[in-house]
Each structure stands twice: as C-alpha cells, then as structure tokens.
Amino acid sequence: EVQLVQSGAEVKKPGESLRISCQGSGYSFTSYWISWVRQMPGKGLEWMGRIDPRDSYTNYSPSFQGHVTISADKSITTVYLQWSSLKASDTAVYYCARQGYSYAFNHWGQGSLVTVSS
C-alpha cells in the first residue's frame, strides 16, 4: 500500500526556521515525483514545487521560488519542505503529493499544519 506520512503540527514564531517532512513507503521511492501543496486557512490548493527523488532535481512555482526549499533523502525515502525565515502568512496546511498517470496527484499525505504567530 502506497503511503505518504507527514510530520506533525508545528507552532513557530516569525523569523524562525522550519523543516517538515514526508516519508514515502509501499512503492519505488525514486520512480515518482513528489510535490508540495499549500492550503491557507479557508482557501484553495496552491502548488509550491516538486522534486524528482532520483536525482533531487527541483522546480518551483514562481510564487514560491526563493521562499522555500524542497529536498530529498533517498536513503530514508523522505522529502522535505524548508523555510529559513517564517512569516505569519506561511500559516497553512501543507500537503505532499505523489505523481501518478498524466501528471495527476494520486497519493497524498495527511497534511502538516504550520502555525506562525508571535
């Protein structure tokens, strides 16, 4: 069974750094891209960027380029989403999602709630 298990909820202050994770299991980890998707409170889905775990090639939405970093560790089948300096506007649920046929996301993590507040 394909599973994407994300790290738990985080509460941070503005300016702090953060890394959240998404561990894949039940499939060949290096065969499928993983994307991160943001959902701000009461809002829609926004694609942030993706990584190819085979070679760690990444590309980002123009809206998120330079604001976050996506990385992967093949040895532990885990993908990360990282901020160096959080803002209150980063408060959201973040989902990881695995690529399937026709570039659709056929498997999703359970979501990680990030709250940034002073």
Partner 1 sequence: EIVLTQSPGSLSLSPGERATLSCRASQSVSNNYLAWYQQKPGQAPRLLIYGASTRATGTPDRFSGSGSGTDFTLTISRLEPEDVAVYYCQQYGRSLFTFGPGTKVDIK
Nearer to partner 1, 16 or 57 (CB): 57
Nearer to partner 1, 30 or 110 (CB): 110
Task: For residues 23 and 6, give the distance between their C-alpha atoms in angstroms, rounded to a whole number.
Answer: 6
Nearer to partner 1, 16 or 45 (CB): 45
Fill in the per-residue mask, 10 to 49: x = in contact with partner 1 (CB under 8 A), - = not in contact: -------------------------x-x------xxxx--
Specify the DSSP element, H or E, that contains 46.
strand 45-52
* Contact status: 72 vs partner 1 (CB under 8 A): no
- DSSP state at residue 16: -
Phi and psi at residue 117, to the nearest 5°: -155, 140
Tokens linked to 118:
């002073």
Residues at the contact surface with partner 1, assessed by CB under 8 A: 35, 37, 44-47, 50, 59, 61-62, 95, 97, 100-106, 108-111
